Chains A and B, each alone.
Chain A
Amino acid sequence: MIRYALTRGVLLIAGLLVSSVIIFLTLRVFPGDVAQLIAGTQAGPETVAALRESLGLNKPLTAQYGSWIGGILHGDLGTSQLSGASVGAELAEKARVTVPLGIMSLTIALLIAVPFGILSAMMRGRSGGTSLNVAAQAVAAVPVIWAGMMLVVVFALWLGWLPAQGFPRTGWSTPFRAFEALLLPALTIGIVEGAMLLRFVRSATLQAAGQDFVRTAAAKGLTRRQALIRHGIPAVGLSIVTVLGLQVAGIIVGSVVIEQLFTLPGIGRMLVADVGTRDLVKVQSELLVLTGFVLLIGFVVDLVHHAVDPRQRAEVD
């Protein structure tokens, strides 16, 4: 187990390094002159030159990369080129919206996918199972933006149960209002993600139902349903863990669009705004934080999967 964790950890660090290089190079090497981009077309050559100097763009690329990564290793994500504010502090503040949104979305997705996925597999071949599968297939094809708009129309405009957009300025000091503001966005991501996950749970359950140990349990006198629930479902849980990493990546990406749609002051909306104003220092640190988070989740998922699955343990050690 420890050996596996170490090898997987090396891969994680390699992944972080490669990602940082890719992000850095795409934002630096491709564009020609970053300083000109920031200053805009109206700026005179002196302004641009001064800006280039203050951004450290005259230094060689390796030195620029080194100072960026060195700063990050010391916990300094850099400062905004436009406002001079600390990127780390702003990210931490915005995370107070994005992290709860992500957790709520994931919870809703699992609450939809697991029971209905298993149900749809157990009812396979009957009309109930088929219609569940068809519905999941259709919902998974709905773009998150549109799903969000339809939910706003129904729950905010027609029924008036939930706020249509925005986040209370008072933040989490008014927990109920903050929760209420995040409910509709989380439902949007949760339903669409849940529909995709449902199809996965369904096929994992069907696969488990065909396994020898389930068949043996049925042969020993359990009904097929009992055999599936007692011996098959644990195996399903294991395969859900493997896609959870992907699911989290999907939720992060979904939250970028959804925060825009519901005007929530989260990390995704911050990233979109910074790309719009070309605040490249902020963009590169934000992209690295998000990618790093996705890689980290993948790492944790692999470790958990390894620790829980006895077969994997036996194979490697």
Chain B
Amino acid sequence: MSLVQRISYVIDLILDYFRSKIGGFIVEIGLIVLFMTSSVRALFVKPYRYNEMVRHMEFVGNQSIGIICLTGLFTGMALSLQIYLGFKMFNAVNMVGPVVALGISRELGPVLTGLIVAARAGGAMAARLGTMRVNEQIDALDVMGVNTKQYLIAPRIAAAVICMPLLTAVFDFVSMVGSYLLCVKLVQIDEAVFWQKIRDMIEIRHINEGLFKAAIFGLVFSVVCTYRGFNTTGGAKGVGDATNQGVVQSMVMIIILDYFASNLIRLFYLVMGMN
């Protein structure tokens, strides 16, 4: 085999590898979208699963409040400290409050809440459904004539989409409490100036922007994690793999989607003639 033939052979191998990977990726995305549409559609078909939805909201929302408050408080304080140290060099410490408020409400609030809840509730969703799959509990529901997507998936997705903006609002609020404690109580920025600057610069749409993103992140992590759990194969190892894949893919997608969502919102503001 000549050198050219060898190189050609290696290039073919590489191209085949990427073709199969990209093809597989596209097929996977298609399957996840189909899974999501059929599950969301099932939400609006009788019998409505209010009880299940409330049960999952309690798990996704209520049981996440503690960890959201803890991380929110320290995120607000850490961010405020770093911005304070930077702004102090330019004698602009009065701007710490609004910059932290903007950063938290638009970006860090929804993204960190998304990552924390995806890890906590998304992981639990994938593990629970995966265990139900390998223990034949999902098959049992199927043969009982229960629509498994309606009973197991749709309430989890609805709960995540509803709870994520609420948790993000809690995160935003607690972060600002942290920022207040650091700025006003620790580094002695004037309290009236701190609040006035925030009032001057923050509009309700900045907060809504973050809450909108949070709902999208809720949809993403709940769909990815339930899809992974629902399609688990291979016993205990399969459950572990499904949980791992669900959480990792959700986190990566939240971070990537955040960038695109931010740009889309910016574009929307431009079209609407807002800054």
Decide whether A and B are members of one complex: no
Which residues of A does B touch, CB under 8 Å?
A: none
